[in-house]
Structure 1
């Protein structure tokens, strides 16, 4: 696997002496990933998420991952969730809901374990399929750039390998894996591209998958460069609480090829989600800047754009930050979008994505839940010293609104844990002592 090791070194994906969290579904790709990390001497733990979508088949996937990890003494954390119910409650497709819950779980486990990287087994075929999907749907350069080798602490060392190369590795190394029968359902767009479109492109050129990946990588580099050019037009951007302002001339005088980028970067500064933004929305924003007088535009994600006196103001309507609440053993409190139950137990309980486990002594001082403070920091397990909450949130891609709504647990005023980030090393329980268990249940606010 020299090809992978070279790719890893090129993009600085896998720090040799830090803990890596491998996402393991039980399929061929992720089982090869586990085997590769283990055989090459990386410090690795694994996480498996059961989506409760395939009944006994999903349980058998979990059993395989459990057995493989147990035989090699690789720590494994298993999570589960009712994806179908979550999709219905939140107006998402099954695929969107599964991805959201799975990555929430992976980020939570990484926080609890102190893993430096979350490693997934996306490969060159996945990348090519993503590019083709975005191309058919309509996209800009960022969509044609495909899957990034590295996005914060999320890394994908197998992007340099085709599916056929992974299959050969699995055969040569006797890697066990499970096959998801739903992958053969070509009624699903991704599966149709995989089974029908990409093979036909490979008839045009046998190396179509590799060439699409190489093109995507070049486009990613060019996209990043164009973003740096667009950022130069934001020198007059000002930030206030929940709003950013920019002279309309700073938009209208930008070369047309960069105009949407300037507006996107302004929305990034606002911390607004851009999932539902289309080219039409950016065109409407540009037209708003080019007009005169006072006018207003409502945009996706609760964003409002207003033009007045030659200034563009972008506002995000965010929820109020909840006040701090005391936590007591045997009680359940509501904070933000969570119901939080506090228990004191005499022995260690199994960790999960919805729990935070502290040493029992944390209850000796006033224990509370509240919003973060920009001045605070914490030390995660296996971490090299204290790190600010601001940096930890940024590394995990939390938007400003998500930061304000994330529960921070304090004992005697010191940060003991941050939900979805991890537990401070000083508050981790040791063998033989009682523990404080906090269970988080998401609720409608």
Structure 2
């Protein structure tokens, strides 16, 4: 088994003999066997153990065992205690996800502090097969079907060449002592259900299941490599980033045949699952304005774009928050959400030429009541567009201007005593325009 280990490390280019490796040790048979193999190979390594405080006395005994193992092997020992249940509740995570997050963050800290080049886990071929079926059931796409990878950044898995039976036989032959985790016997977790029920059934159907699934996983890795190249090749033409938002071109996406896998790969990192992505695909030929939400992001379907931003919570109907800013009579400038506005007032002269740019407003000063107010627009807002006699809803104005939902949400309005003076950057109100009898001009400009 030692020869198989060293051959696998060389084949997968996991590390060189001079590298310092941190082995994550639970005290179970897999991690203890990995330590013994590393000892036999004379690799430079240390042991890290996490006590998650989930099994009371048993957890403490695991920690004591790991420390004794490190002492026996004469290697550095690192340990930490976590209040995993409290962390899981506070962050609204499952205990499994919380434990994973805690341990890998700590492993990273230890590797940096003590100069370990790689972090080795004791995952083996059976673990990889179980992961394959977990991901298949969860619908994670082709990325989930490659099983556990031998190397991901600083994480290495030197035991993936071995089956659980190989590890058990090695432990017996070398009279290796290890700890039994009582939670492994429970069917509480999906992995254990697959391990205890699905895998044995598949082995009954195909006695060579282990080698068959390993071969299939290797083929899927090769297929994934080709798939990734195609996805990444199209990425530049389909997906752009602008002003902190992700923009996906619908026309370019439709050129990709079929578009579904491309959209899945581009949206999945933002928390959109298969069901949501299927609904987004159906919306591509529908009118704009529809919104979709993942746990962390929002996607807006615009005319030719899918716009993704990090607005976490969908606002409740009628409870949209407005931001209000007040302007005093002699105030010269104001910055609102990154937009700068300058203000000045002066006597009207016959030689003055009105600035007709939409980024500026020429206002009759005497028609204003201070303080003025700048706020985000709301549904139901009405104004009298400059040059028109009647009133108009802002929502209708935005439709005429073909503003995307994303742009609509950014619109600010200048008001006086509750009346709209200027839809900033778009259009002024007729009631506040500079007329023949205007004596003083209030000039507002977006810069």
Normalized against structure 1, the TM-score is what? 0.65
Give CA deviations for 1:320-372 in whole Å, capped at 9, x if unaligned.
xxxxxxxxxxxxxxxxxxxxxxxxxxxxxxxxxxxxxxxxxxxxxxxxxxxxx
What residue is the counterpart of 1:295 in the other structure? 289
State the alpha-carbon separation in 2 of the partners of residues 89 and 195 from structure 1. 32
What residue is the counterpart of 1:203 in the other structure? 204
What residue is the counterpart of 2:254 in the other structure? 252
Map 1:59-208 onto structure 2 (within 5 A): 59-208=60-209
Q: Which runs of 5+ in 1 are unaligned?
A: 319-445
Q: Secondary structure at the match of 1:198?
A: helix
Does residue 278 in structure 1 map to residue 273 in structure 2? Answer: yes
What residue is the counterpart of 2:240 in the other structure? 238
Q: Which runs of 5+ in 2 are unaligned?
A: 313-447
Q: Secondary structure at the match of 2:102?
A: helix
What residue is the counterpart of 1:22 in the other structure? 23
What residue is the counterpart of 2:306 in the other structure? 312
What residue is the counterpart of 2:220 in the other structure? 219
State the alpha-carbon separation in 2 of the partners of residues 66 and 224 from structure 1. 41
Cα distance change, pair 309–149 in 1 and its aligned pair in 2 (3 A): same
Contact 1:252 1:286 in 2 (8 A): no
RMSD of equivalent CA atoms: 2.1
Displacement of 1:13 = 1.2
Cα distance change, pair 23–260 in 1 and its aligned pair in 2 (3 A): farther
Displacement of 1:120 = 0.3
State the alpha-carbon separation in 1 of the partners of residues 245 and 189 from structure 2. 40
RCO higher in 1 or 2 (8 Å CA, sep ≥ 6)?
A: 1
State the alpha-carbon separation in 2 of the partners of residues 29 and 73 from structure 1. 19
Cα distance change, pair 136–266 in 1 and its aligned pair in 2 (3 A): closer
Cα distance change, pair 311–193 in 1 and its aligned pair in 2 (3 A): closer
State the alpha-carbon separation in 2 of the partners of residues 166 and 195 from structure 1. 18
Give 1 or 2 for the bigger CA radius of gyration: 2
Give CA deviations for 1:177-236 in whole Å, capped at 9, x if unaligned.
100111111343322221222122212222212221221121122122112112222223
Give CA deviations for 1:153-193 in whole Å, capped at 9, x if unaligned.
11111111110100111122232210011111134332222
State the alpha-carbon separation in 2 of the partners of residues 316 and 90 from structure 1. 19
Cα distance change, pair 158–273 in 1 and its aligned pair in 2 (3 A): farther
What residue is the counterpart of 1:263 in the other structure? 263
Contact 1:124 1:210 in 2 (8 A): no
State the alpha-carbon separation in 1 of the partners of residues 207 and 228 from structure 2. 34
Normalized against structure 2, the TM-score is what? 0.65
Cα distance change, pair 61–138 in 1 and its aligned pair in 2 (3 A): same
State the alpha-carbon separation in 1 of the partners of residues 206 and 302 from structure 2. 55
State the alpha-carbon separation in 2 of the partners of residues 12 and 235 from structure 1. 31
State the alpha-carbon separation in 1 of the partners of residues 193 and 265 from structure 2. 34
Q: Secondary structure at the match of 1:44?
A: strand
Displacement of 1:264 = 4.4
Contact 1:252 1:289 in 2 (8 A): no
Contact 1:296 1:304 in 2 (8 A): no
State the alpha-carbon separation in 2 of the partners of residues 118 and 79 from structure 1. 16
Displacement of 1:139 = 4.2
Q: Secondary structure at the match of 2:213?
A: helix
State the alpha-carbon separation in 1 of the partners of residues 134 and 266 from structure 2. 27
State the alpha-carbon separation in 1 of the partners of residues 140 and 270 from structure 2. 17
State the alpha-carbon separation in 2 of the partners of residues 83 and 312 from structure 1. 39
State the alpha-carbon separation in 1 of the partners of residues 186 and 265 from structure 2. 38
State the alpha-carbon separation in 2 of the partners of residues 248 and 137 from structure 1. 27
State the alpha-carbon separation in 1 of the partners of residues 178 and 26 from structure 2. 9
Displacement of 1:312 = 2.5
